[in-house]
């Protein structure tokens, strides 16, 4: 009788372990299935050449009108020596009408650029983060000048700090 009592709890514990193992395996299989589905992305639709051409044209249309701002040279702040920035900028606009407004307000835009850049230090402009920050500040400053259109992106086509 003592042997039967000792075997009873062992069987109950074994069943619990088996249920836990089966549940863990089921959860892992479900997770693997979901992961495989997301990774594979399902079936891809075949794109006809006409659809591909239409998509390329759509992407080309997303680029707005461009306006070049001539190369400019600005003294920048530095404690040790005289430094300057030579840069050229291209503005990508949201509408063709904005191009006309930028041309009309070019003096205001150049003034804003020169004042903003002239207050930057060599340390702020020499690394990538500084250039990205300058781009964001220029975008905000120029958009505050424009009333009808907006600048979508600013491209530095020339950028030399010396």
Q: Give mean pLDDT, residues 83-89.
A: 92
Q: What is the pLDDT of residue 153?
A: 92
On the 0-12 / 13-18 / 19+ scale of CB atoms within 10 A, 104 is exposed
pLDDT higher than 90, residue 137:
yes
> Number of structural domains, the chain?
2
Query: Phi and psi of 150, rounded to 5°?
Result: -140, 155
Asked if residue 50 belongs to a domain, the reply is no
Give me the domain span that covers residue 112: 64-161
Asked whether residue 8 falls in the same domain as residue 75, the answer is no
Q: Give mean pLDDT, residues 122-147.
A: 91
pTM: 0.60
Asked whether residue 141 falls in the same domain as residue 78, the answer is yes
Contacts 24+ apart (CB under 8 A), 42-49: none
Asked if residue 70 belongs to a domain, the reply is yes
Query: Phi and psi of 62, rounded to 5°?
Result: -70, -20
Asked whether residue 68 falls in the same domain as residue 29, the answer is no
Q: Give mean pLDDT, residues 9-28.
A: 79
């Amino acid at each position: 009788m003592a042997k039967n009592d000792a075997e009873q709890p062992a069987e109950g514990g074994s069943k619990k372990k088996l249920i836990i193992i089966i549940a863990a395996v089921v959860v892992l299989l479900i997770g693997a299935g979901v992961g495989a589905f997301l990774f594979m992305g399902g079936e891809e639709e075949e794109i006809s050449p006409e659809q591909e051409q239409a998509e390329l044209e759509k992407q080309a249309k997303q680029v707005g009108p461009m306006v070049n701002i001539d190369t400019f040279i600005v003294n920048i702040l530095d404690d040790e020596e005289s430094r300057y920035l030579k840069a050229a900028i291209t503005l990508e606009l949201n509408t063709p009408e904005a191009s006309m407004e930028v041309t009309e307000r070019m003096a205001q835009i150049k003034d804003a650029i020169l004042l903003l850049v002239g207050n930057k230090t060599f340390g702020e402009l020499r690394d990538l983060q500084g250039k990205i920050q300058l781009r964001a500040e220029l975008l905000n400053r120029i958009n505050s000048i424009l009333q009808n259109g907006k600048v979508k992106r600013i491209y530095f086509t020339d950028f030399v700090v010396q």
